[in-house]
A and B are shown apart, each in its own frame.
Chain A
Amino acid sequence: MNNANNALTEAVFYILLVLTEPKHGYGIMQQVQELSHGRLSLSAGTLYGALASLQEKGWIEPLPEEGRKKEYRITVLGRSVLEQELARLNELVTNGFARLNR
Chain B
Amino acid sequence: MEEQITKRVWRFWTIAEYEQEEQWINEMARDGWALTAVGFCRFIFRRTRPGEFIYKLDMVERTTQDEVKESYFNFLTECGIRIVGEYKDWIYLQKRAADGPFDMKNDTYAKLRKVNKIYSFAIRTICRLLRIFMVQIMLFSMVELFVEDPGIIDFSRGMMAGIGIGSVIALTLIWVPIVKKLRRQVNKLIDEIGVII
Query: Which A residues have a C-beta under 8 Å from some C-beta of B?
Result: 3, 9, 24-26, 29, 40-46, 48-49, 68-70
Contacts of B102 in A (CB 8 A): 43-44
Q: Are B104 and A40 in contact (CB under 8 A)?
A: yes
Q: A40 to B109, alpha carbons, bound, how many Å?
A: 13
Confirm or deny: B72 has a beta carbon within 8 angstroms of a beta carbon on chain A: yes
List 9 additional contacts besides A25-B78, A26-B79, A44-B75; criterion CB under 8 Å: A24-B78, A41-B104, A43-B103, A44-B102, A45-B114, A46-B113, A48-B72, A48-B75, A48-B76
Contacts of A45 in B (CB 8 A): 58, 110, 113-114
Q: A16 to B72, alpha carbons, bound, how many Å?
A: 20
Bin chain B's interface residue count: 20 to 34
Q: Are A68 and B74 in contact (CB under 8 A)?
A: yes
Contacts of A26 in B (CB 8 A): 78-80
Contacts of A24 in B (CB 8 A): 78
Q: A48 to B93, alpha carbons, bound, how many Å?
A: 15
Contacts of A40 in B (CB 8 A): 104
Q: A86 to B100, alpha carbons, bound, how many Å?
A: 31
B102-132 contact mask (Cβ, 8 Å, vs A): 1 or 0: 1110010110011000000000000000000
Task: From the candidates B71, B76, B109, B113, name the one contacting A44 in the complex (CB within 8 A).
Answer: B76
Task: From the candidates A25, A43, A48, A69, name the one contacting B104 in the complex (CB within 8 A).
Answer: A43
Q: Which of B52-86 contact A (CB under 8 A)?
A: 58, 71-72, 74-76, 78-81
Q: Are B81 and A44 in contact (CB under 8 A)?
A: yes
Q: A45 to B172, alpha carbons, bound, how many Å?
A: 33
Q: B196 to nearest A CB, angstroms?
A: 12
Q: Are A46 and B107 in contact (CB under 8 A)?
A: yes
